[in-house]
Amino acid sequence: MKKRKKNINTHPLVDPEQLRRHLMDSSKPGITNRIEFADDIIDLHMDQLQTGKGEIPATDILFHQLEEFERSLDKAMAAGKLEMRVIHGLGKGKLKAEIYKILEKHPGVRSYTNDYHSRYGFGSTLIQFN
């Protein structure tokens, strides 16, 4: 009985490099999944936030501040930052309390401290990431 030679295709059906680029989403020019820039300091005072046009009702201010905080937190972590400072001010402490609730549950946060800062006093918190 004769042995059949296997037909070995020397050219793969899928280019491994092209597959890698496709999976990493770099096959599309100008589109990447990396964040190149993120702020080290985010100021959550409403006059510093760019939240659309017009006046924001007082009842919605905390919501907008927390939304901006979470967006900045995710962006800093995606950019590979080791730490970031959030300026929440002193006030009545509502914003700071809500920020701390988020930080307690966030898996990417190693620690956060409200130490005195020469520029912001006790109105800011330093967040360190894993």
CA distance 111 to 130: 9
What lies within 8 Å, CB to CB, of 27 at 6+ separation is 18, 21
Is the pLDDT reported for residue 129 higher than 90? yes
How crowded is residue 122: how many other Cβ atoms within 10 Å of its Cβ?
13
Token duo for residue 79: 């950019």
pLDDT at position 68, please?
92
pLDDT at position 1, please?
61
pLDDT at position 61, please?
87
Domain definitions of the chain by residue range: 39-129
How many helices and strands, by DSSP H and E, does the chain display? 3, 4
pLDDT at position 27, please?
46
The CATH architecture annotation of domain 39-129 reads 2-Layer Sandwich (3.30)
**Residue range 61-96, pLDDT digits in tens:** 899 999 999 999 999 998 889 999 999 999 899 999
**Residue range 1-60, pLDDT digits in tens:** 666 666 555 555 777 777 766 666 654 555 555 545 567 899 998 776 665 556 777 788
